[in-house]
Amino acid sequence: MLHGYRCGRPAYSGDLADLYDVGADRLLKLPRDAADNDLMVREQHALRTLAERGDPRWLPYVPRLVDSFTHRDADTGAERRITVLGTATGLHSLVEVRRAYPDGLDGRDVAWMWRRLLVALGLTHRAGLVHGAVLPSHVLIDPDAHGLVLVDWCFSTAPGGRVPAMVPDHDTWYPPEVPDRGPCGPGTDIFMATRCMTWLLNRDAPRRLLDFARGCRQRFLRARPDDAWLLLRELDEVLHRLYGPRTFRPFTLNP
């Protein structure tokens, strides 16, 4: 038992923490190393900020902070910061999506994921935050309802701050300002989100869509778009020219 929560075996293992299903659609997030407490605090701060400043219409695009507390290990005496998150069911990471479609997706399927990821970033940036780790394992989708949740806020910071750490084995996913320890901004997230989307596309992706993506991945932060809401409108224009009026296109992870 941890603070009244009963934990069994981990349901998931993240970059720096194990997550336990504690019932009532909640996950308890326990860092494996107390040295990562500062990153856990960052996530707690980010989720509180989003809940306080975010537009309620878009809050389902991010996890809900249910509880947070400190636990002292009885054997080592180490204190670890623990978070309890409200969860949605039926979610799958973009890693699972790519695994199900190793040859990539049709641009029309990537389109709804791209649009919803930009909504999540629009919410984030308007709240005065940079996510700092928009990676395939942190973008979860609901295939049936075309929902999306952006998770793992442990690497978040304010615009102009520095991303505190990089997820191991993902060096090539980051824009230059992150490994260079330079100031980040909304364009940092936009760069990484675009990388996620182009990674999902198949070889037949329309040139117009790839040109749009290229503009979002300029080398220098100051050259990239920095308004996700405006970028969403621009993406919608590109998609309309390519595919016509939006229609619901069923998506499954069992092709």
Give the span between the Cα atoms of 68 and 41, in whole angstroms.
9
pLDDT reading at 11 higher than 80: yes
Spans of all domains in the chain? 12-86, 92-243
Mean pLDDT of 237-250: 96
Confidence of residue 255 (pLDDT cuts 50, 70, 90): low
Maximum separation of any 2 CA atoms in the chain, in Å: 62
Q: What is the pLDDT of residues 154-167, one digit of tens each?
A: 999 999 999 999 99
**What value, to the nearest 5°, has the Cα angle with vertex 168 and ends 182 and 37?**
80
DSSP 106: -
* Percent over 70 (pLDDT), the chain: 99
CATH second-level architecture of 92-243? Orthogonal Bundle (1.10)
Mean pLDDT of 123-132: 98
Helices 207-216 and 186-200, axial angle in degrees (round to 10): 150
Confidence of residue 28 (pLDDT cuts 50, 70, 90): very high
Q: What is the pLDDT of residues 174-206, one digit of tens each?
A: 999 999 999 999 999 999 999 999 999 999 999
pLDDT of res. 120? 98
CATH of 12-86, one of 1.10.10.60, 3.40.50.1100, 3.30.450.20, 3.30.200.20: 3.30.200.20
- Burial letters for 159-183: b for 16+ Cβ neighbours within 10 Å, e otherwise? beebbebbbeeeeebbbebbeeeeb
Whether the pTM exceeds 0.75: the reply is yes
pLDDT reading at 50 higher than 70: yes
pLDDT of res. 77? 80
Give the span between the Cα atoms of 54 and 123, in whole angstroms.
6
Q: What is the pLDDT of residues 171-182, one digit of tens each?
A: 999 999 999 999
Least confident of 23-37, 39-53, 110-124: 23-37
